[in-house]
């Protein structure tokens, strides 16, 4: 296993943070500084960070139903409320997998498994994220086709999504939208491109994990069987993409 993945899998930090530690010369293997990100760890190798032995932590996995009005971060210089104002102190070490903006609600996966965070958020691994989105307009089939074909939100960056109409009223449409990308405020910006606005946005599923059984502000541990299914899902995607 590569050293950055090994560190992230221990629960010590994310894979990105592990890369930073390695490049800074803070990681040693069998007493020797290692700066090669692709360095392969063997079974008997002893890894240390800042001269302290790396210990495998208990990996934790939770589902959390984020309400609107909270940002997805541990602190905010503007003094806005964060999800950690809701969560108990003993969960403050867990990291959210991806983000939901302040005005959005729904599923967040929380974990200290840095490798899982990496695989669920890396752009090369096309993980499905499903949302229920209410738009302030009667959308037509052509609108959905435009969203699916792709919209250039930034120079050289094309945003796309799969859409399905759940319900339509005279001046409102409820959509189910599936993303395989992670661009900032992607859904809201795509709808704005069509000349409309998002009224409500809720994430209902991330990969194989969903919101079922959760109320707003509530969290529950993800069962080992569900984690096994999630990792099998990711392995299939990586195999298909040749990763």
Under 8 Å between Cβ of 48 and 208: no
Catalytic positions are 101
Residue with tokens 């240390």: 48
Residue owning tokens 């996995």: 61
62-to-8, 21, 93, 111, 220 alpha-carbon distances in Å: 17, 27, 12, 6, 6
Closest CA to 56 of 19, 9, 91: 9
Pairing assessment for the beta strands 209-210 and 27-29 based on DSSP bridges? unpaired
Cα 9 to Cα 60, 66, 125, 174, distances in angstroms: 11, 26, 18, 39
């Amino acid at each position: 296993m590569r050293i950055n993945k090994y560190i992230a899998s221990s629960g010590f930090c994310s894979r990105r943070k592990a890369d930073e530690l390695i490049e800074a010369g803070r990681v040693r293997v069998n007493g020797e500084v290692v700066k090669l990100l692709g360095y392969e760890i063997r079974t008997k190798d002893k890894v240390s960070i800042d001269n302290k032995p790396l210990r495998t932590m208990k990996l934790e996995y939770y589902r959390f139903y984020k309400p609107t009005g909270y940002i997805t971060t541990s602190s905010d210089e503007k003094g806005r409320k964060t999800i950690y104002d809701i969560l108990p102190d003993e969960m403050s070490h867990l990291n959210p997998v991806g983000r939901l903006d302040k005005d959005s609600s729904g599923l967040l996966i929380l974990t200290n498994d840095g490798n899982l965070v990496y695989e669920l958020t890396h752009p090369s691994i096309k993980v499905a994220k499903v949302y229920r989105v209410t738009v302030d307009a009667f959308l037509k089939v052509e609108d959905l086709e435009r969203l699916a074909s792709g919209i250039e939100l930034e120079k050289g960056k094309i945003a796309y999504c799969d859409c399905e109409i759940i319900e339509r009223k005279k001046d409102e449409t409820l959509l189910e939208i599936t993303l395989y990308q992670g661009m900032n405020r992607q859904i809201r910006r795509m709808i704005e491109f069509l000349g409309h606005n998002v009224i409500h946005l809720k994430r209902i599923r991330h990969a194989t994990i969903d919101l079922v059984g959760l109320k707003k502000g509530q969290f529950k541990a993800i069962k080992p069987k569900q984690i096994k299914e999630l990792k099998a899902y990711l392995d299939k995607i990586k195999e298909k993409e040749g990763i």
